[in-house]
Amino acid sequence: MLDDILKDYTIILASASPRRHTFLKTMNLVFKIELQPIEEIYPEHLKKEEITDYLVKLKAEPFKDHLKDKDIVITSDTIVWLNNEAIGKPKDEEDAFRMIQKLSNTTHEVITSICLTLKSKQQIVNTITKVTFKALTDNEIRYYIDNFKPLDKAGAYGIQEWIGAIGITKIEGSYNNVVGLPTHLLYETLNNIAKDI
């Protein structure tokens, strides 16, 4: 399987997200975590997956000059897209409240891009999942924010938490993508790269 094919390679995950760490462990991949600080700023004219594609490439830039022949750097970025605008991570609890109010009683898109960077090549892939929330009450939103502190999550919610259990009525696409990483896409892309190296 993939872990055997890549056993001679060093997989570097450039993410502080505990959810992404867990997913790679679940996929039975041996990896190390390495973080390079960057400002996640993108040109205003970009839309949807253009934003996440741009940001994953940006996140990979600091690694490019230091890669060894058998290094594979994984960078990933997720946004929530609603009413033609990107919703990132909330600045504070009031911002989180406003974000979840916007998502209430609507369908939004969760867009993730993954960038795999090697010394000799780079590949970017992306996927979109549609998520529908019921009409949430202000009390439900406050309860969620007070008890689960979702300030580190795009769109201010975690589908795997209480709000997902009581509020999400429909999902089209990858569940894992909404949690934080489209693992099926990462597996497929790593497999394709492994065939070429």
Torsion of CA 55, 60, 23, 1, to 10 degrees: 130
Closest CA to 125 of 74, 176, 80, 87: 74
d(CA 32, CA 42): 27
CB-based contact 15:77 (threshold 8 Å): no
CB-based contact 144:163 (threshold 8 Å): yes
What residues pair up with 81 in beta bridges, in sequence order? 86, 109
> SS3 for 60?
helix
The reply to whether 77 belongs to the active site is: yes
Closest CA to 115 of 65, 85, 74: 74
The one catalytic residue in 4, 69, 77, 152 is 77
**Residues designated as active site:** 77
